[in-house]
Structure 1
Amino acid sequence: MKPRSLMFTLYGDYIQFYGGEVWVGSLIKMMKEFGISESSVRGAILRMVQQDLMQVRKIGNRSYYSMTEKGKRRIDDGHQRVYSIRSQKWDGYWRIMTYSIPEEKRALRNQIRKELNWTGFGMISNSTWVSPNSLEKQVMEMIQTYELENNTVLFSSSSIVSHDNEDIIKKGWDLETLSEEYLQFIKQYEQVHEVLKEKAWDETLTDKECFLERTSLVHNYRKFLFKDPGFPVDLLPDDWNGTKARELFWNIHQLISVRAVRYFDSLFEQAPDQDHKLNREKAINPFSEVYMSN
Structure 2
Amino acid sequence: MSELTGAPDRGALPPRALIITVLGLYVREAGGWISVSALIRLMAATGVDEQAVRSALTRLKKRGIVEAERRGGAAGYALSAYARQVLEVGDRRIFARPGSDDRDWVVVVFSVPESERAKRHALRSRLSWLGFGTVANGVWIAPAHIADDTREVLVQDGLEPYVDLFRAEYLAFGEPAAKVARWWDLTTLQDLYAAFEAEYAPVLRRWVATGAADSTDARAEAFGDYVRALTAWRRLPFLDPGLPADLLPSPWSGTAAAETFFALRDRLEARAHDYVTEGQAPAAARRG
TM-score range, shorter chain: 0.7 to 0.9
Specify the alignment match of 1:258 in structure 2: 270
> CA 1:69–1:181 in structure 2 vs 1: closer, same or farther (change >3 Å)?
same
Q: What is the Cα deviation at residue 268 of structure 1?
A: 1.4
Once structures 1 and 2 are overlaid, which stretch shifts more, 176-185 or 218-227?
176-185
Q: Identify the match of residue 211 of structure 2 among 200, 203, 210.
A: 200
Matches within 5 A, 1:29-178: 29-59=41-71, 61-86=73-98, 88-90=100-102, 92-159=103-170, 161=172, 164-178=175-189
Could you say which residue in structure 1 is the equivalent of 2:6? none
Aligned length: 274
- Please state whether the residue corresponding to 1:129 is helix, strand or coil: strand
2:107 aligned counterpart, secondary structure:
strand
Question: Cα deviations across residues 161-219 of structure 1 (Å, max 9, x unaligned)?
Answer: 55542233112212233223323322332322222222226778711111111111111
Q: Which residue of 1 aligns with 2:257?
A: 245
Tell me if the contact between 1:23 and 1:65 (Cα under 8 Å) persists in the aligned partners: yes
For residue 157 of structure 1, give the secondary structure of its aligned residue in structure 2. strand
The aligned residue for residue 228 of structure 1 is 240
- Contact 2:46–2:227 (CA<8 Å) still a contact in 1? no
SS at 1:111's partner residue?
helix
Paired residue type of 1:96: V
TM-score by length of 1: 0.79
Residue identity opposite 1:183 in structure 2: A
SS of corresponding position for 1:191: helix
SS in 1 for 2:234: helix
3-state secondary structure, aligned to 1:113: helix
Q: Which amino acid aligns with 2:121?
A: N
Q: Distance in 2 between matches of 1:274 and 1:105?
A: 46
* Matched-pair contact (CA < 8 Å) for 1:64–1:271: no
CA distance in structure 1 between the aligned counterparts of 2:17 and 2:115, rounded to whole angstroms: 29
Sequence identity percentage: 27
Inter-partner Cα distance in structure 1 for 2:115 and 2:53: 32
Corresponding residue for 1:15?
27
2:42 matched to 1:24? no
Which is further off, 156-165 or 253-262? 156-165
Q: Which deviates more, 116-125 or 40-49?
A: 40-49
Q: 2:72, 2:284 within 8 Å by CA — same for their partners in 1?
A: no
| Structure 1 runs not aligned, ≥5 long | 276-294
Quote the offset at 1:239 in angstroms. Answer: 2.0
SS of match in other structure, 2:240:
coil
In structure 2, C-alpha distance between the alignment counterparts of 1:124 and 1:61, rounded to whole Å: 54
Contact 1:133 1:231 survives alignment (8 Å): no
Q: Match of 2:282?
A: 269
Q: Deviation at 1:140?
A: 2.0
Does structure 2 retain, via aligned residues, the 8 Å contact 1:78–1:225?
no
Cα gap change, 1:181 to 1:139, in 2 (>3 Å): closer
Say if 1:272 and 1:198 are closer, same or farther in 2 by CA, change over 3 A: closer
The answer on whether the counterparts of 1:21 and 1:64 sit within 8 Å (CA) in structure 2 is: yes
Contact 1:94 1:132 in 2 (8 A): yes
What is the rounded CA distance, in whole Å, between the counterparts of 2:261 and 2:285 in structure 1?
36
RMSD over aligned Cα atoms: 2.9
SS for the counterpart of 2:166 is: strand
